[in-house]
Structure 1
Amino acid sequence: MPTAGQHGITEHSDGRFGYVPVQTRSDRFTSVNVADFGPVTGREAVWKLSPVKKFTDLTTGALDGSQYPVESISVAGVSVAWVGRGDSRIGSAGAPEERASANAWSSFEKALAITISGEEAKEITVTRAQLGSGPRGAHTIIEAKPFSRAILILSNTGEARLTENVEIILGESANLTVVSLQEWGDTAVHLTNHFATIGRDARLKHVVVTLGGSIVRVNPSVRLSGAGSDTELLGLYFADAGQHLEQQVFVNHAAPNSRSRVTYKGALQGQGARTVWIGDVLIGRDAAGTDSYEQNRNLVLTEGTRADSIPNLEIETGDIKGAGHASATGRFDDEQLFYLQSRGITEDEARRLVVRGFLSEIVQQIGSPVLEERLQAAIEAELTESTPA
């Protein structure tokens, strides 16, 4: 969206337009009201790489914002409950930058609130599996109280047409891992924006794992708002024929001595498999002592696939520890395959070993042994299905 002027840039002297382009990632227009956004055309910066015609019901149509079935096991120090739109935490972590997100915000009746307290380590899984085939909007709040510690797994299965917002709020010195696990059915469409704000000396590990669904778009936006705050954003995705898997990541360093690491890795196989990764990092003028690095790696397994990878870095202060970004997309390393085959391993098995090793870097950092084992098996199943008999 245009604005009246930024960084000393003003409108051209001919005066015909009255606007200049947005110059800083954090200055994008936001609103919780869907009516404030124009129709989605696919030419917008946030939609230009997305198949927008395939989910117009989520961007322009009416959404079912009612409560839905949720499964979870009771864990000490964790509360899972539905709260009204007047809950004070709603809107404290961020606001929509695009129409699908705003449509969900305008439509939900109650928000699912997951509240974590207590210094003892704990793990909880919240599962959604019965969202139906109609267009739906939803809202989730995740609050980690000061000094709390937990691993939270958000598991998504079955069929759905869903647009939603997830707010993640970390109090002082909280340590939280959030795993967003997409194992949707073959026709599912899922558009979700995760907004996180991290307090003083708090640490968020945010993991996105996408293995299922027709169109899945998970966009994490993290604001490091407290001094000494830390975030690690990890992503793993495996796109099969016809799948569109997208991630747009934004890390906003707004406080001094903050740290971020972003690592997303994906594999693509089959005709029409498509992945999109956009990584934006903004180091603000008040973020002295920032230490930041982002990277994206894609492994192309077959012909007919496409991987878009776009890292961006903005720095508004020279007083930083370090900042950088990297991106790479490529096929199998022939030398690795040759080495394995020279040891008596078949070509198909060698390829599976290379892919497992490539993606295991992400799986092994989750911190939940049971989930890590299950994901390794899921990756193996993906590779086995694609290997000729």
Structure 2
Amino acid sequence: MTATNTTTQSPENLTTDHSRATADEAHTHGQGAAAAGASRGDRGTSFALADFPLPNGREEDWRFTPVNRLQKIFAGDLTGEGPTVSVEHDDAVQVERVGRDDARLGNVGSPGDRASAAAWESFREAVVITVPKGHAEGEHTAITVAGQPGGAPDEPAAQHLLVVAEELSESLVVLDHRGGAHLSQTVEIDVRDGAHLTLISIQDWDDGAIHVASHRARLGRDARLKHIVVTLGGDVVRLTPESSFAAPGGDVEMLGLYFTDSGQHQEHRLFVDHAVESCKSRVTYKGALQGASAHAVWIGDVLIRKAAEGTDTYELNRNLVLTEGARADSVPNLEIETGEIAGAGHASATGRFDDEQLFYLRSRGIDEADARRLVVRGFFAELINQIGVPLVQERLMTAIDVELDHTMEAAAR
């Protein structure tokens, strides 16, 4: 089945909800996809930059992206001064800085677009974080990627990170991006048999930063991954998180939160590849937008291959448009090549700020600023509570309040 929905900001609330498909429905739609020959799995991947033509913005993978602002990354040879990487960890976790010839690198999938191929060809050193077998979750591992303060450098840089959660381990890794950067980044995530890993990636860049990142995750037998993306700052931020299953019993939960401000482009383009039987995936992304030319893009591709019987999957995207001039594009895609599934579906909605909710709160003596804050906090609260890390949750709520204060200040002028 190939089911595609696009939602953009308009004067009316636009909502689509595609409920979970039954096995018979999936089988019928799967025949249609085969006839169309439009499978997500047919897209090529390669470690060679030359295998990807220079994007012009008309390609499916780049049609929402301001490609003119990424030309230096597309050119390859990313030799600029990149952000520094520092890691705080407990004694059991191993942190190494290795050369690009290290045999552990490049084993979790391969680049799927020109920007990620450029990152692969250009990095010289990688940071490898290994959580040992049987490790019990204690203090989280904090990876800080610190760019230059005061703006992004002209020349782009490449960066490579590998996180390995060995068998039967439990761990929490927080990847925190700050400062100014012009960066093409690869994050490999290897979750081995029986391991449980939570990885949180926070994009809190300074104004003007450009960040293009490919997160590629592979789950072993009965492995569990909670992958959380939080995007707040930067000029152009484009993340492509991908998850694949190497053995049955895998469970991936992909959560995302973004707040897109005036002039920002924030794009999250996900792919979940169900290639083996009896695996589960859940995707939930929520975003708020405000200000002229604020643009958020969410693409959710889920592929259930013929061998992936017993798959259970669902994806959801919600966007809240707070002001005029902001635009959200939301495109969920679901392809099913087998009728023997536990369930599959997706939902997407984009809507304006609810004036009725605002009126209700103000009629009870709450001023407009606090009423708006309550509505937006309520929109994000359920998702933020799923993060499960109090320090991160508090930071996000504070960041949301700051963004809302900017809105009120702009409206008062």
Interval of TM-score (by shorter of Structure 1 and Structure 2): over 0.9
Greater helix fraction, Structure 1 or Structure 2: 2
Residue matched to 2:121? 106
Inter-CA distance 360–105: structure 2 relative to 1 (3 Å threshold): same
Inter-CA distance 183–228: structure 2 relative to 1 (3 Å threshold): same
- Count matched residues: 374
1:121 to 112, 137, 147: 137
Correspondence 1:133-144 to 2 at 5 A: 133=153, 134-144=155-165
Residue matched to 2:91? 76
Counterpart of 1:230, as a letter, is D
Q: Say whether residues 1:318 and 2:352 are aligned partners.
A: no
CA RMSD of aligned residues (A): 1.9
Inter-CA distance 371–9: structure 2 relative to 1 (3 Å threshold): closer
3-state SS of 1:53 partner = helix
1:87 to 74, 88, 102: 102
Q: Say whether residues 1:52 and 2:67 are aligned partners.
A: yes
Q: Is the 8 A contact 2:33 2:335 kept in 1?
A: no
Inter-CA distance 355–67: structure 2 relative to 1 (3 Å threshold): closer
Residue matched to 1:196? 217
Inter-CA distance 65–91: structure 2 relative to 1 (3 Å threshold): farther
Residue matched to 1:167? 188
Cα distance between partner residues in 2 of 1:61 and 1:254: 32
Percent identical: 52
Cα distance between partner residues in 2 of 1:224 and 1:189: 30
Residue matched to 2:260? 239
Cα distance between partner residues in 2 of 1:342 and 1:277: 35
Counterpart of 1:82, as a letter, is R
3-state SS of 1:350 partner = helix
Q: Is the 8 A contact 1:228 1:257 kept in 2?
A: yes
Cα distance between partner residues in 2 of 1:178 and 1:213: 21
Residue matched to 1:146? 167
Query: Deviation of residue 8 (structure 1)?
Result: 12
Q: Is the 8 A contact 1:265 1:298 kept in 2?
A: yes
3-state SS of 1:70 partner = strand
3-state SS of 2:366 partner = coil
Cα distance between partner residues in 1 of 2:89 and 2:285: 32
Inter-CA distance 49–68: structure 2 relative to 1 (3 Å threshold): closer
CA deviation vs aligned residue, 1:179-234 (integer Å, no higher than 9, x gap) = 11000010000000111000110100001100000000011010022211000000
Q: Is the 8 A contact 1:22 1:28 kept in 2?
A: no
Answer with 85-94 or 100-109: which moved more.
Answer: 85-94
Cα distance between partner residues in 2 of 1:290 and 1:379: 36
Cα distance between partner residues in 2 of 1:197 and 1:9: 26
Counterpart of 2:104, as a letter, is R
Q: Is the 8 A contact 1:246 1:277 kept in 2?
A: yes
Query: Deviation of residue 53 (structure 1)?
Result: 0.4
Q: Is the 8 A contact 1:66 1:109 kept in 2?
A: no
Cα distance between partner residues in 2 of 1:63 and 1:22: 35
Gaps of 5+ in 1: 1-6, 11-19
Residue matched to 1:384? 405
Counterpart of 1:368, as a letter, is V
Counterpart of 2:162, as a letter, is I
Residue matched to 2:205? 184
Q: Is the 8 A contact 1:337 1:350 kept in 2?
A: yes
Correspondence 1:280-359 to 2 at 5 A: 280-359=301-380
Cα distance between partner residues in 2 of 1:65 and 1:27: 34
Residue matched to 1:14? none
2:395 to 371, 374, 380: 374
TM-score normalized with structure 1 length: 0.92
Cα distance between partner residues in 2 of 1:318 and 1:364: 35
Cα distance between partner residues in 1 of 2:336 and 2:352: 33
Query: Deviation of residue 124 (structure 1)?
Result: 1.2
Inter-CA distance 370–183: structure 2 relative to 1 (3 Å threshold): same
Cα distance between partner residues in 1 of 2:40 and 2:310: 20
Query: Deviation of residue 376 (structure 1)?
Result: 1.1
Greater RCO (CA < 8 Å, at least 6 residues apart): 2
Gaps of 5+ in 2: 1-30
Q: Is the 8 A contact 1:66 1:108 kept in 2?
A: no
Q: Say whether residues 1:40 and 2:61 are aligned partners.
A: no
Counterpart of 2:141, as a letter, is I
